[in-house]
Chains A and B, each alone.
Chain A
Amino acid sequence: MSNTAAEKVRTFDTRTQAKIPVESPLAYSYRRSGAPAPTAKSRVVLRERPFLGHLVLRGGAIVLDEAVREVLGIPLPGEPQGLVHDADGQRSIQWISPDEWLVIVPGGEEFALENRLRAVLGDAHFAISNVSGGQTLVELTGEAARELLMKSVIYDVHPSHFPVGKGVTTVFAKATVILRRPTETRWELVVRRSFADYTYRWLLDAGEEYGIGVER
């Protein structure tokens, strides 16, 4: 019996073929706290992007960089707080720690991606965890999005300090959040599923003065 890493690891697709209704981490919050529709006066619009594929890559930067270049066609952000997207902006890799990166891909792609990465990485020293079920992505757009963040996170979100293509892990209200800025007008919050309701209700409350609307 061979003892290679690829054969010792058992992977499985977390998306089942069975017809089981799937609910986003915010489904409960929409029912309990409501979701005010955006109006012409809304200066902030919130939108959840549920069911994306989230993978955590851990290992050496050089081997992982070669593997993701081959599989995803985008380089691994080597600089701290780096965030890179592919050409159509659907797939991203974010620096989390010197040996940890967060990959977000469209929902359903993560299992195939994980398997291809494992095949390319072979016996290298690495770890890939599928955390898609554990976190969700919330988008903020609108002219007052930055003001809303200024009230909520301890990190300096001024454009001179937080340019496009940056992402940090920081404190949001009393929870942890991964805050990213993929484009000039859009901010992304990656929140844990267990903190999704808290984050959502905080955003609704803090965004009230900007007429926050929720797109569903």
Chain B
Amino acid sequence: MLHIYCPYCGETREEEEFHPKGQAHIARPADPEACSDEEWGDYLFFRDNPRGIHHELWVHAVGCRKFFNVTRNTVTYEILETYKMGERPTITAEHPEGRPADATAQQTSLRDGVRA
């Protein structure tokens, strides 16, 4: 049983109250009509499956019913941080100890921030 910190409730709650909803930070293409089939297929169906740090979308289904992001280690199941929608993770695969404060300003988009 995991204990998950809901950033909206401000409390650690039982895993039973939550549902995972897959990979986080998937940006819908700005102009779907201009996408190639491959780009659109990647957006719809293809997900990362990393060994190690992964960013996921979870919902506090029984509770505040808000979606939020979870940074989780897929090897140890350890939840490293949770953060609200629209926020950026401080812990990424490249910065497993937390992102240095000055690096956040260089991110151009949320997805770049995760990939960086």
CA distance A81 to B10 in the complex (A): 9
Among A154-190, those with CB < 8 Å from B are: 154-155, 168-171, 176
CA distance A168 to B65 in the complex (A): 12
| Contacting residues, chain A, for B66 (C-beta < 8 A) | 97-98
| Contacting residues, chain B, for A96 (C-beta < 8 A) | 64
In the bound complex, do residue A176 and residue B62 qualify as a contact, i.e. CB atoms below 8 Å apart? yes
> At the interface, yes or no: B8 with Cβ under 8 Å from chain A?
yes
In the bound complex, do residue A80 and residue B17 qualify as a contact, i.e. CB atoms below 8 Å apart? no
**Nearest Cβ on chain B to A154's Cβ, whole angstroms:** 5
In the bound complex, do residue A170 and residue B63 qualify as a contact, i.e. CB atoms below 8 Å apart? yes
| Contacting residues, chain B, for A81 (C-beta < 8 A) | 9-11
Among B77-114, those with CB < 8 Å from A are: none
Task: Describe A's contact surface by its main secondary structure.
Answer: strand
In the bound complex, do residue A171 and residue B9 qualify as a contact, i.e. CB atoms below 8 Å apart? no
**A175 closest partner in B (C-beta):** B62
In the bound complex, do residue B8 and residue A80 qualify as a contact, i.e. CB atoms below 8 Å apart? yes
Q: Using a Cβ cutoff of 8 Å, how many contacts connect chains A and B? A: 37
**B10 closest partner in A (C-beta):** A80
**B14 closest partner in A (C-beta):** A154
In the bound complex, do residue A97 and residue B8 qualify as a contact, i.e. CB atoms below 8 Å apart? yes
| Contacting residues, chain A, for B62 (C-beta < 8 A) | 169-171, 176
In the bound complex, do residue B8 and residue A171 qualify as a contact, i.e. CB atoms below 8 Å apart? no
| Contacting residues, chain B, for A171 (C-beta < 8 A) | 14, 16-17, 62
In the bound complex, do residue A169 and residue B16 qualify as a contact, i.e. CB atoms below 8 Å apart? no
Q: How many residues of B contact A (CB 8 A)?
A: 13
Among A85-108, those with CB < 8 Å from B are: 96-98, 100
**Nearest Cβ on chain A to B87's Cβ, whole angstroms:** 14
In the bound complex, do residue A80 and residue B9 qualify as a contact, i.e. CB atoms below 8 Å apart? yes
In the bound complex, do residue B63 and residue A169 qualify as a contact, i.e. CB atoms below 8 Å apart? yes
**Nearest Cβ on chain B to A85's Cβ, whole angstroms:** 21
| Contacting residues, chain A, for B10 (C-beta < 8 A) | 79-81
**Nearest Cβ on chain A to B14's Cβ, whole angstroms:** 5
Give the interface centre of B11, B16, B62, B66 by most chain A CB atoms within 10 Å. Answer: B62
| Contacting residues, chain A, for B14 (C-beta < 8 A) | 154-155, 171
| Contacting residues, chain B, for A169 (C-beta < 8 A) | 62-64
**B61 closest partner in A (C-beta):** A176
Q: When the two chains form the complex, which single residue of A98, A100, A170 contacts B17, counting CB atoms closer than 8 Å?
A: A170
Q: When the two chains form the complex, which single residue of A97, A155, A176 contacts B64, counting CB atoms closer than 8 Å?
A: A97
| Contacting residues, chain A, for B8 (C-beta < 8 A) | 80, 97-98
| Contacting residues, chain B, for A155 (C-beta < 8 A) | 13-14
**Nearest Cβ on chain B to A198's Cβ, whole angstroms:** 15
In the bound complex, do residue B65 and residue A97 qualify as a contact, i.e. CB atoms below 8 Å apart? yes
Residues of A within 8 A of B (CB): 79-81, 96-98, 100, 154-155, 168-171, 176
Would you mind naming 10 contact pairs between A and B with Cβ atoms under 8 Å apart? A80-B9, A80-B64, A96-B64, A97-B64, A98-B66, A100-B64, A154-B14, A168-B9, A169-B63, A171-B14
CB-CB nearest 10 A-B residue pairs:
A97-B64, A154-B14, A80-B10, A80-B9, A169-B63, A176-B62, A98-B8, A171-B62, A171-B16, A154-B16
